[in-house]
Amino acid sequence: MNNIQHIFFDLDHTLWDFEANSKKTYQQIFKENNLEIDINLFLEKYIPINHHYWKLYREEKVNKDNLRYGRLKDTFDQINYKIQDDLIEKLAIEYIDNLANYNQLFDGTTEILQYLQPKYDLHIITNGFKEIQQSKLEKSGIVHFFKTVITSESVGVKKPNPKVFHHALDITKAKTYQSLMIGDNLEADIYGAKNVGMKALFFNPEKQQVPAGINAIMKLEEIKNIL
């Protein structure tokens, strides 16, 4: 890819290993609340439900509170675990409060950022909640790599809405032809970026089928073969 000067990364599921850190957080808060729950059964149901709620959140069909409560309520219903609504609300808050305390990154994250930083301006564009994303970056030790952190909440809309990408380009003074978006979500990151004229690179560790015309990598270290 020629002429690239600015690289925009997604955070969750791209650099910050959301599923690993989420599992540890739920294990902690279930133990602290004396809940005997099979964590693997819980996550088997929770992960697709969580993805579904985030899709609804991107589409402005649910708000932040609906997402936090709904993903837990639906999961407990799926595993037939009887639990009071007030405890679900408590768990939803404790989950957010504790999530950034676990900071497993994807293999090669620090190394690829060290490789890219001298050559490019690095930025974050994330749909994650603003109160926790900065903490994730700081506690995982990678915040210093990024010149700009753009959250969807600060813009008022979510990826793939073009306003998010235009806002990111405006505040970083980047041109579309100079800009590359790297993320794990085809809809939010890849098509969202391409629709405003940016280049895009699909991070695909789950080895999903890659649509025609989409550049993809399965490991972050593969970026070295492209940039």
pLDDT digits (tens, 9 = 90+) for 64-100: 999 999 999 999 999 999 999 999 999 999 999 999 9
Q: Which CATH architecture has domain 18-99?
A: Orthogonal Bundle (1.10)
Domain residue ranges of the chain, discontinuous segments joined by +: 6-17+105-225, 18-99
User: What pLDDT does 129 receive?
Assistant: 82
Q: What's the CA angle centered on 181, arms 155 and 127, to 5 degrees?
A: 35
Q: Quote the tokens at residue 153.
A: 């909440």
Within this chain, domains 6-17+105-225 and 18-99 share the same CATH topology: no
Q: Over 90: is that where the pLDDT of 1 sits?
A: no
CATH 3.90.550.10 fits 6-17+105-225, yes or no: no
Q: Over 90: is that where the pLDDT of 134 sits?
A: yes
pTM attached to this predicted model = 0.93
User: How far is 90 from 73, CA to CA, in rounded Å?
Assistant: 12
Any long-range contacts for 44-49 (C-beta under 8 Å, 24+ apart)? 45/75, 45/78, 45/79, 46/71, 46/72, 46/75, 47/19, 49/74, 49/75, 49/78
Query: What average pLDDT is seen over the chain?
Result: 96
3-state secondary structure 116-142: HCCCCEEEEEECCCHHHHHHHHHHCCC
Report the interhelical angle of 85-99 vs 130-139 (nearest 10°): 40
